[in-house]
Amino acid sequence: MRGRIHFCFLIICFLVPGLNLASNLSDSLLRIVNAKPEAITKLHMLDNLSWNYRLSEPETALLLARTGLKLASDQNNQEFYGKFHSRKASAFFQLTQLDSAVISIKKSIAIAKEREDIMSLAGLYYNLSQYLNYQGNYPNALEAVYKANGLYMKLNEDKYLSLSYQRLGEIQTSTEHIPEAIEAFSRALKISKGLKDTLLIIPQLQSIGTLKVAEAQKQGESLKEGIQLLNEAKAYAELYPKALKFLPAINSNLGLAHARLGDCKAAIPYFEEGLLDIWQSSQTGSSQKAAILENYGHCLVQMEEYESAKYLALISLEVAEESQNPRTKLGVYNFLLELNEKLGDYEEAFKYQKIAADLAESLRNEAREKEINAIKKDFQIRQGELKVLEAEAQKRKAEYGIYALLASLLALALASYLTIQFLRKRQKEREIALIRDSEIEKEVLLDQLRKKELQSLSAALEGQEIERRRIAAELHDGLGGTMAALKMTFSSISRKINKQEPHFKSYSNAMKLLDNAVKEVRQLSHQMAAKQLLHEDLEAAIKELCELLRQNDTLKIKLDVAGLQNADLKQEQKLHIYRLIQEHFQNTLKHAGASMVELSINLRHNWLSIEYKDNGKGFSHVEGAVLPGLGLQNIEKRIQQMDGRWSLQTSKGKGIRSFIEIPLHQEYKGI
């Protein structure tokens, strides 16, 4: 019965379709602007229009900003020249062309610095921090928001200071520095409560409550404080009509908090209320609907209300398709996978698992392709703008020459001299502006190239790991299974052979060789798969690797990995570190002829140090020279991927000393 109630409720919520109408107004808007006789009036109109249309019609806003930029350049109006670079940045951000947004706003910042416009400069740094945060450039995003924060403090602008602390909390959340994020949001909330600004108080309460719930669950503590803050945010939103837009997210977070407590029965009313809030406020956010439906569905599965969950699955799928958001679809497909597993319909579960896996791979490929296309398009746009500026500069240069000649013929020598000096100054200013813009663009392009190099390195290492796991599986399931079967066959033959027969000794030798082969295949499969890492226990994996290698009677290993006990490592970092150590051992076994290896791992001031020494043959090597061999080059790539440092000391006949340092508590690039 409950399932039917849920189903009817959801059908009501989603019978009313949303409409998304858009129209291209650029031509008519430009006609209205051009009808105005005064240039300053046109500049004001273009500025206001590009700002007002940045959200609903970002392409129109971009065209208006570019028109305004050309007019401001013609009028030599530096104030509006800086403003229209900022308007371009806003439009690029809405079009998700983040690199172009960063380039434009940096130009605007340079002009604001020259004009010493502190208020504008603070706002520009604030916007830059948002663009860099979405771009994933967290260190520079933090630097920008700290600059904005300092300027707003100096200006005594409390409202904007509250917003800058809120932005700081958002960036700290992106970097998973949750305690620092909570502190930033709390500072913002204290200022907002002093201002009695409800529209700032509500999202800040919601952010703090959501983070405290997540942190408390992670630490195994009470979620009571986080839930209380979310309820406070909800109370504010229900009393303030303009804040009703916050209710769906607040109710969704309250539902998730109760679900994390294991009380799905208490969570479901919040999910239902969140869906009802969306419907009543005529919001058309299909992605938000699908996210709430997905969480709702997980709760129904946990409560074993499978019939209700099946109805919900149909609606979730329909809403996800309507949203046209691949990430939303991915969440719903995972919910359908869980539901069908619980229902025992493994064929259907496998279908959704395959769809989800294909969609996830498609998202990764699409992201890479979009980034490449965006960079290409951005580069073409900048080239076009540079050509226009160069043509204008040449035209101005020719005009100034004519003016100078006329002035020299018609005016006194002093007037001619002053005119020429004035024209030269104007020309020099434009040349400086062109050089400045070119330098900014060059800096951004170099940054993009560095990012591409790191992404290529990441993809290569990821491919290595996939191939290792594939070979390990083949060894274990294929060759390992065959050899195990062969061993069983030989064992069955042993009962039929008399120990006194002359062939029994040959049979015994063959069995020993077969035992050794099975053991070596198992060891190789284990090392390539690194199964202990799947349980996030790097220390155990390294110890087990050393135990396997100690079975080689010719090699003694001295091991000290105490530093791993307090090291907070990501899963990808653990895998890199395991492969580094494994590669060192392989080089020792293959080439060094060593009898002793010493491996120690220590934690010093947020740096994890790894020291590996053997007493083998060593080889000729000069610090900074190109490394010989694929194995050493792989070690160097993995260390670069973790932003680490490496010192390799060796010479012929004196073994090696490899010292690696890996930084902790910073943004990690991944495999």
In single-letter form, the type of residue at position 637 comes to K
Strand 656-663, strand 556-560: pairing: unpaired
Alpha helices of 411-479 — where are they, by DSSP H? 413-473
Say if 560 falls within a structural domain: yes
Q: Side chain identity at 528, as an amino acid letter? A: M
Query: pLDDT value at position 155?
Result: 93
- SS3 of residue 658 by DSSP: strand
Q: Which residues contact 22 (CB under 8 A, 6 or more apart)?
A: 56, 57
Per-residue pLDDT reduced to its tens digit, 173-221: 988 899 999 999 999 999 999 999 989 999 999 899 999 988 888 888 8
- What pLDDT, on the 0 to 100 scale, is given for residue 665? 61
Between CA 266 and CA 303 the distance in angstroms is 11
Token look-up 């065959």 returns 482
Tens digit of pLDDT for each residue in 462-498?
666 666 656 655 554 456 556 655 655 666 566 666 6
Q: Distance between CA 46 and CA 30 in Å, rounded?
A: 8
What's the rounded mean pLDDT across residues 231-243? Answer: 87
What integer is the mean pLDDT of 132-154?
A: 91
CATH number at residue 594: 3.30.565.10
Q: Which domain holds residue 540?
A: 535-663
Q: Quick check: is 591 in a domain?
A: yes
DSSP H/E element including 122 = helix 118-135
Distance CA 577, CA 587 (A): 16
The answer as to whether 108 is a domain residue is: no
The highest-confidence range among 31-35, 52-56, 65-69, 288-292, by mean pLDDT, is 65-69
Host H or E run for residue 353: helix 346-410
Q: Is-above-0.75 flag for pTM?
A: no
Q: Give tens-digit pLDDT for 308-349.
A: 777 777 777 777 777 667 777 777 778 778 878 888 888 887
Arithmetic mean of pLDDT, 398-425 = 73
The distance of Cα 457 from the centroid of its chain, to the nearest Å, equals 17
Whether pLDDT at 392 is above 80: no
Domain membership of residue 586 (yes or no) is: yes
Distance CA 292, CA 36 (A): 50
Separation CA 588–CA 598 (nearest Å): 12
Q: In the chain, how many domains are there?
A: 1
Examine residue 575 and state whether it is found in any structural domain, yes or no: yes
pLDDT (tens digit, 9 = 90+) per residue, 72-111?
Answer: 999 999 999 999 999 999 999 988 898 999 999 999 999 9
Q: Which helix (H) or strand (E) holds 170?
A: helix 158-174
**How many other C-beta atoms are found inside a 10 Å radius of the C-beta of residue 47?**
20
Rounded to whole angstroms, the Cα distance separating 550 from 595 reads: 11
Residue 649 lies in a domain: yes
Facing residues of 657 across strands? 613, 649
Helix (H) or strand (E) holding 649: strand 645-650
Asked if the structure places residue 462 within a domain, the reply is: no
Residue 235 belongs to some domain of the structure: no
